[in-house]
Structures are given as C-alpha cells and as structure tokens.
Structure 1
Amino acid sequence: MVKIIFAHASAGAGHQKAAEALYNYFVGHPCGCQLQLIDILNGVDPFYRFSYSRGYPFLINHAIFLWRFGFWLTSQKRFEGAVQNFTLLTNRFNTSKFADLLIRQDPEYVVSTHFLTSQVCADLKKHNRIHSKLITVVTDFDVHPFWVNDDTHRYVVASEYTKERLKAQGIDDAQILVYGIPVDPKFLLEHDKDALREKFNLKKDKNTVLVITGSFGLGPLEEIADLLCEETQVLVVCARNKKLYARLTAKGYASVKVFGFINNVEELMSVADIIVTKPGGMTIAEILTMELVPIFISPIPGQETGNISAMAHYGIGSIAERTHDVLQIIREYKNKPDKLRSAKERIQKIKKPFAAMELYNEICKGCGRACG
C-alpha cells in the first residue's frame, strides 16, 4: 500500500491549515493509500518547540527589527552556505524523532507544507536514508530560499508569479506545479447570501467591509471601526482579543457588527465586498477563493511584503500605509463601483481554489493503480 505523509510545523496557522486541507481531501476521496498527518514539532525538545512556535510571534510583536534583519540575512546568496550549514545541524539535532519516523516508514510521498519538514526530508534523501518523493507546498506567494532544497520532486506554488520566483532560484520549470495554496473546502461552498445578510442584519444595497487580522485580534481594528462606522457596513472580528471585543460592543455602533472568536469566517467573507486584513499567504488564498477585494494593513517585513508584491503584479489589493488610508480606499471603491468590479474580475482570473484536488490527481497519476 502506498504511504503518504502530510508534514507541517505548527509555527504559523497557514502551514497547518494547508496540510490539513490536503490530508482531509485525501481522506474524503479514498485512493487506496495509507495517510498520515504529522506535526514535526510534536515530540521535539520543549525548548526548541517553544522557541520555534513562539519565537516568530515574539519577534514580530516585540523585535520586528530583528525579524527584518534575519529575513534579509537568510535571503542573501552570499550567506547561503553558512545559513544552510547552521540550519542543517540545528535540524538534525532537534528533529531526530521525525527523521526516524521517515526512515522507518520510508513513505512513497512526503507532502510538506513547511520549509522545516522539507529541509529534513531533503537531507535524508540526499544521504539515501529514505527514497520518498518530496512534494513541497509553498504557502506564500513569494519564495524564501529556505523553501528550496535539492532532491525535491515537485513544488506546488500559488501563482505564475511564484513559479517565476522559484525559477529565478534555479528550479526547473518541469518541477513546478501552479495549483494554488490548498484551502479548507468550506471556502468552496456556495452560500445563500441573502439568508446570510438576514442572519447578520445587513442591508443588500450597501457595501460591506470585513476587518480581520488573525486569531489574536491585533492591529488597528478599533481605529478602523471608528473610521468606517459612518461610511459603510462593517464586520469586525476581534478573535481572542476579549478586551477589544468588550470595548467595541460597548460603543454600540449602528452599522458595525462585532464578533469574537469565530469558526464561520467563510460566511462573513461571503457577504463582504472588501476585506481589510494582513497579507499572509493562506489568508490571500482564502480571499481569492471567495473573490474578496483586499486592503492590506500592517504587513510583516519579508514574506508578507513579498505577498503584497505578488498581488500588485496582478493588480490586486491596496496597501494602507496609515490607518486613515483605509477610509480613503473604501471611499474610492464606493464612489467608483467599476473599480471594485474590475478588481473582482482580476481576482477571478488568478484564483486557484482546487489545489487539493489538483495535487490529489497528480499523486494518483504517479501511484498508478494504488491510487486509481
């Protein structure tokens, strides 16, 4: 029986979401394969797990200059050898449990949605410890060098722009599959928008703006709600930020609906015309699938600014350098409905909502009868 391991690292929600979307699609479409979903950080040294999963949010919230420098340093060709040697030694020392599992099982395929799992798998392949075909699913629209490894069978990427960025790093055209970033199937469902507008008490003849920045509800959400409350209908998701939720609900806005932590974001996206959010790779993939026009705020230097550049290449999205810019952009869309309509048409041309199905078909083709 063909074995497929879907591997990720629980450091950033997008990597885990992509792995789960792929795993769940394969589970829902039996192919005669043995499937496993594995988080490489399970079972590692507690300090390493803590530093890996918590180090990123700490740096971007408290030491962004260090993150910016680290991203720049590890992107430079002249430091490539030293960076690779350091990461290789660190990975070997800290991820032996995951490596041992791969060696024992030697699956036919490892589908990786995080550069760490790709690096470990590629290192094992290089030394003939495993013979798996490594498929790396890049979860951003730009490509940091950490994603690129020798002995990678295929790269699954979000767009033609991403493909060109990979080719610039020496990857052969035939290795790159432009399938998109795998999203949860709930974003593919057809929604009864009239019923949802009634559910959320929204008017059909007014534009609706969704404001959301992630599971911690960070960023200038309150300022944006104050700016837009007289201009349009607004849906604000405070997520786990209970203090923000309490402040906003206490204001009693007439045209602002305030939410805490939710699991039905696809419903809010379905009734919205515009979204104000951070430019994470998975977030953008979901936005494109739902055909929402994005306004990006508070981008993290590195991968998120790279994602903005990718979207700008296709004429999609606006960047609000200041909070007040959000209001100006919203007014422009409101006063020029053709501009909003054109933005949605550009989104329709590049969205790739069926990444999981495409990769499923690719692997089934490679497995032959085992997946047929």
Structure 2
Amino acid sequence: MPIPTLTAPNSAGRILIIYASYGDGHLQAARAIRDALERQGVEPKRIKLVDLMAEANPLLNEVSRRFYMHSYSKMPTLYGWVYDRTRPMKHDSLFGGWLHSFGKEKLRRLLLSERPDAIVYTFPVFAAPSSRKSLLPHVPTSAVVTDFDLHCRWVHPHVDRYFVATDELKLELMRLGIAERRITVSGIPIKQSFTALRPNPQWFARYGLPEDRPIVLIMAGAAGVMPDVPEVCEALLQDNAVTVALVCGRNEALASSLRARFHGQLSTSNGGRLHLFGYVETIHELMAIADCLVTKPGGITLSEGLATGLPLFIYRPVPGQEKNNALYLHSKGAAHITRNPQELSNAVRSLLYDPIRLAVHQQAARALGRSGAADTVALDILRQCLIMEEASSPTHY
C-alpha cells in the first residue's frame, strides 16, 4: 500500500525528537519517526534527535543506565516491584515531578536555540513542557508510547497528542481523562523495511541458513540480556531438524562463550545447526526467513515480529512493562510465554510441526502488526504543524 504524503509546511518542519538510551527501543522508535518525516519531505537537517539525559548529565545518565540494566537483569523482582508501585503515579506527585525534572535546563536551552515546530517524545521525560507553553506557545508536543503497557509516567497534562500501540491503551488513557481526539492508535514505530515484507530466497544464502529446515530465530536483545541463552540453544538443538539463528546483539562476551561451548555445532562446522550473529542492522531479512521468534519482550522487537507475522515465544519475561507486553500478546493468541529451556523447546516443536496451529498463530501476529506506525506518527505531526501555522498566520481569521 502506498504511503500517504503531506507536504511539509513552508516554515515548519523543524522537529525535535527526545529519546533516552535505557535499552535500544526508544532510540529505534525515534529513528523510525525521523526516517518517516524525511520520506514526507522534511529535510534531515531540520530533524534533531536528542538523548536528553545523556546530554544534560552524562555521569548521572551512565550511572542510572547501569543501575537500570543491573536491576533489570540481576534483580528483576525488585525492578518489577518498583514498576508496579509507580505505575499509577501522577505527574505532579513528589516522585513523578522529580523524574520529569531531569534535563529541564538543557531542554529549555534546546527550545530556545532550535525553535522547533514540533516536539516528539519516545521516552517519558517531559522535562519542560510547562515552560515551553510560554517559550513556544504554538508548538505541539507528542508522546509515542513504546510498549503494549501504559505506565502513568507517560501521562502529562501538557502533552498534546498520544500515539499508542493498541485500542486497549487508548481506552486506558481515556479513563485517565485524556480526550479521545488526542489519542491515535498508531502502533509502535518500526523501520520501513518491515512494510509489506516478504521472504527473499537470496537471504537464506546471505546468512548461510538452509531453506529446507525450520529456522528458530533467537533475539537476545541489543545488549544480549535474555537469560539462559546457552541452555535454550541446547534444548532447541535436541531436534535434529531445527536450525537456530541466534542474534547476540552487542554482547560480544555472550557470543564468545557460545562459540567455545558449541564449537562442534556452529555453522562453521560440517552440519552445524547453530548460527551466531552480532548486531544485525537488516534484522527484517532474518525475521522474514525465520519460522518463529524467541525473544525478550521489548516493544520494538515484538512489533517487528508481529509485522512479519512470526509466532512469538517469550522467554522468562521480567516483571514490569515487558511482562505486561508478554501477557497482552499471549491474551491475543500471538505469543507463548515459557519459563525454562525444555518448556520452550517443546512449545516451539509443537507449533512448528502443526501446520494448522502455525497458520493460526501467524494470522494472530499479522492481525496485531502495524508496520506503518512511523508514517502514521509522522503524518499526524505534520498535520499538527500545518494547523498551528495556519492558526498563527496574520491572515488567519
């Protein structure tokens, strides 16, 4: 389906996109929106991506990122407890106000120097929305929720537009008092390469994968933090008909340990059925030729899998937004949740060798997939810019 286009306003098109580097998803969503805006005719130099915490306070950002990753992987119960306890918090609560205060001065200076025509957040750090009302009164602010779950940190009275993944999230925002007209069910922004994606036979050869065997794609996360990866590989490889393609992300330590552990089963060996990859920029190609996806339940990866129509197997989801992501997709018949390697292996084999169930799960995934989310967000942002430009024009009556 062709992408609708909207001519960018003559004086508009300066877009500020705020993200954070807690995980890879917020940046990926920001880049997807940037690319969609460029497809609509906005000049690249007019789009600025800002990691607000990193630029405002590099030391605090690094310490908090390390604490986030440590608590997420080493103390998941504590992480989930904090997430659940703060989930209903209000923006003007003591904790909520503290969280939204980080980067306030940096954002104020950015607003004055960049004079953006629109501000887009892919991470909920609304550092200066109140001051921007006086600094830039005609600038629309949008929040792009990057999970299938809603933490109230995303809800702020000075956000003009919300973009969410599902109808359920829209209803939840409405119950919190957000007007329906301010909410768009866009999906979570992902790369354009996932739009109308079809397998290309050349991709099997490109990645050294067989065309005549089931391919189980494992994505351990950009930082390679999915638990029990070696044990999961061992359990899956018990089936001699299965090929495993494991994406280790940027975790070279994980890749090295797996090379040593599975030396005789790697694709470099005769008949090896375990294929290791680092960070894969063209991940859509691997997803297109895989038969199912095993992953940690980050919003971006799940959205990519859904757009591809892949049956999803979510392994030991961490309490918090990722567990809630998993539970939502499980309730829609698009994902299995498994707790140990053997349970995962049994579930994968059960599905792969049952064509009817496999087709049902593929259809459930495609029904939830929204590969055009980034274009939906970009078009809406430019419409807001046009409305504001017309409203502020001296010839407007």
Deviation at 1:54, TM superposition (A): 2.1
Are 1:186 and 2:193 counterparts?
Answer: yes
Partner of 2:3: none
Q: Which deviates further from its counterpart, 13-22 or 167-176?
A: 167-176
* Equivalent residues of 1:179, 1:355 under 8 A apart: yes
Q: Choose from 198, 210, 224 the match for 2:205.
A: 198
Q: Secondary structure at the match of 1:36?
A: strand
Partner of 1:296: 314
Change (3 A) 1:294 1:371: farther
Are 1:95 and 2:113 counterparts?
Answer: no
The one-letter code of the counterpart of 1:72 is D
Higher RCO, 1 vs 2 (CA within 8 Å, ≥6 residues apart): 2
Change (3 A) 1:31 1:370: farther
Change (3 A) 1:166 1:248: farther
Deviation at 1:169, TM superposition (A): 2.5
Question: Which of the pair is proportionally richer in helix?
Answer: 1
- TM-score between both structures, scaled by the size of structure 1: 0.90
Change (3 A) 1:191 1:321: same
Measure, in 2, the Cα distance between the counterparts of 1:260 and 1:108. 38
Partner of 1:213: 220
Partner of 2:121: 112
Q: Which deviates further from its counterpart, 171-180 or 252-261?
A: 252-261
- The 5-angstrom pairing of residues 1-372 of structure 1 reads 1-2=11-12, 3-31=14-42, 34-76=46-88, 80=90, 84-89=93-98, 91-92=100-101, 94-116=103-125, 119-125=126-132, 128-131=134-137, 132-188=139-195, 190=197, 192-218=199-225, 219-231=227-239, 232-239=242-249, 240=251, 241-253=254-266, 254-368=272-386
Q: Which deviates further from its counterpart, 230-239 or 28-37?
A: 28-37
Q: Secondary structure at the match of 1:143?
A: coil
Q: Secondary structure at the match of 1:300?
A: coil
The one-letter code of the counterpart of 2:176 is Q
User: How big is each residue's C-alpha offset from its partner over 1:91-116, in whole Å with a ceiling of 9 and x where there is no partner?
Assistant: 43643112221245442311110001
Q: Secondary structure at the match of 1:11?
A: coil
Gaps of 5+ in 1: none
Q: Which deviates further from its counterpart, 96-105 or 155-164?
A: 96-105
Deviation at 1:157, TM superposition (A): 0.8
Measure, in 1, the Cα distance between the counterparts of 2:115 and 2:94. 25
Q: Secondary structure at the match of 1:92?
A: coil
Q: Which deviates further from its counterpart, 169-178 or 43-52?
A: 43-52
Measure, in 1, the Cα distance between the counterparts of 2:299 and 2:97. 25
Measure, in 1, the Cα distance between the counterparts of 2:113 and 2:206. 52
Q: CA RMSD in A?
A: 2.5
How many pairs does the alignment contain?
A: 366
Change (3 A) 1:91 1:166: closer
Q: Secondary structure at the match of 1:30?
A: coil
User: How big is each residue's C-alpha offset from its partner over 1:159-189, in whole Å with a ceiling of 9 and x where there is no partner?
Assistant: 2122223223222221110111111223337
Measure, in 2, the Cα distance between the counterparts of 1:161 and 1:97. 35
The one-letter code of the counterpart of 1:235 is A
- TM-score between both structures, scaled by the size of structure 2: 0.84
The one-letter code of the counterpart of 2:263 is A
Residue identity (%) = 25
* Equivalent residues of 2:308, 2:366 under 8 A apart: no
* Equivalent residues of 1:276, 1:294 under 8 A apart: yes
The one-letter code of the counterpart of 1:12 is G
Deviation at 1:23, TM superposition (A): 1.0
Change (3 A) 1:135 1:19: same
Q: Secondary structure at the match of 2:55?
A: coil
Measure, in 2, the Cα distance between the counterparts of 1:130 and 1:168. 29
Measure, in 2, the Cα distance between the counterparts of 1:189 and 1:246. 35
Measure, in 1, the Cα distance between the counterparts of 2:100 and 2:50. 16
Measure, in 2, the Cα distance between the counterparts of 1:178 and 1:226. 40
Change (3 A) 1:339 1:192: closer
* Equivalent residues of 2:53, 2:102 under 8 A apart: no
Measure, in 1, the Cα distance between the counterparts of 2:43 and 2:281. 32
Deviation at 1:139, TM superposition (A): 0.3
* Equivalent residues of 1:40, 1:95 under 8 A apart: no
Deviation at 1:123, TM superposition (A): 3.4
Measure, in 2, the Cα distance between the counterparts of 1:150 and 1:24. 28
User: How big is each residue's C-alpha offset from its partner over 1:285-321, in whole Å with a ceiling of 9 and x where there is no partner?
Assistant: 1111121110001212110011112212322100002
The one-letter code of the counterpart of 1:130 is L
